[in-house]
Structure 1
């Protein structure tokens, strides 16, 4: 399954000269101001020229580096005491070079489709163990069955700017959010809506962070 219309460029080329295959563990790290700030193990669902699809399963551990300057403080999930992902897990659909992912959520005992979450973030950069990015806090959420999307964490994004988390990036982040909103308002769908019915392979084991995950150089 692919997103509609590729956006592949050099940002999507594998650092180690290969792509991940379905079932591989892909370490998704967040890099803030040059430092690894957070990491979690995900599972590769698809890795093609036009799409990187990663699944974050329930119970996947959260990793927080022990050493660093952390000029904006520790990761909020670490501060809150969150140690692993919960719920049904989420699927993250990312096109190379784009500053957002389309995340798929499910809910309830029947694992019903809950909605599309447009997560603003740095375009992913490949590492030998996975990908690096940085969540931009500001997001859009379109619940299943709703007529329209809603903006998320607008006030929190403003607070993060005060904290200095995104120096020189505020205008670009807002512009990406506005671009996504304009596409949605125009009825554009650049992802395959069939992902709403996707289910993880039941044989996949729970992924774990490899030793030394935080020490892999930042590109």
Structure 2
């Protein structure tokens, strides 16, 4: 597959069991081959799991657990959703089990790096496919780190959504991401005071 030109809009999909569970059009900022940078801005219309949308609209954490069970049964429904509030630059890799996403609030102020553990991306004709692995790391501007959704990750393992080989890869990726933060390596060394447009 050829690289994507800067400025092109491509579709980023999370996939499981050969079906998507998110589909977001995002603008390419830079394609370095094994590293892809795409921007998602508020107002972007995409698709997401109906139970995830319910959890967002109603602040219902129980819906997240129901969603994992729906994935395990292969019975989830998709619904339209408009991305809100935060601007996110996803820095995705072909050889790492995480993406690093600098994020900005509504005023354009840098909020944090959101490290999303996911499968290395593969290219499609109109975008890339990956799969969210239900574990996240929040890195504050001062480089303090906070794990997020560890309970969901444990449930996803119990439901068979994260095979043992992925678990081993995630264990290694946790250490790799924390080492990058400690060394101020890669995206953690860059100046994110302004949104790359």
**TM value normalised by structure 1:** 0.71
CA contact (8 A) 1:72 1:163 kept: no
Give unmatched runs, 5+ long, in structure 2.
Answer: 50-69
Q: CA deviation at 1:188?
A: 4.2
Segments of structure 1 that go 5 or more residues without pairing to the other structure are: 1-13, 202-219
Aligned to 1:112: 109
Secondary structure, counterpart of 2:153 in structure 1: helix
Match of 1:100 in 2: 98
Contact 2:10-2:28 at 8 Å conserved across structures: yes
Distance 1:155 1:40, change over 3 A: same
User: Equivalents in 2 of 1:72, 1:173: separation in Å?
Assistant: 23
Moved over 6 A (4+): none
Partner SS, residue 92 of structure 1: strand
CA distance in 2, matches of 1:93, 1:127: 17
How many residues align structurally?
176
The answer to whether structure 1 residue 46 and structure 2 residue 43 are counterparts is no
Query: Structure 1 residues 91, 183: CA separation in 2 closer, same or farther (over 3 Å shift)?
Result: closer
Deviation of 1:180 (Å):
1.7
Q: Does 1:184 align with 2:181?
A: yes
RMSD of aligned alpha carbons: 2.6
Deviation at 1:160, TM superposition (A): 1.4
Whether the aligned pair in 1 keeps the contact of 2:5 and 2:30 (CA below 8 Å) is yes
**RCO greater where, 1 or 2, for CA within 8 Å and sep 6 or more?**
1
With normalisation by structure 2, the TM-score equals 0.78
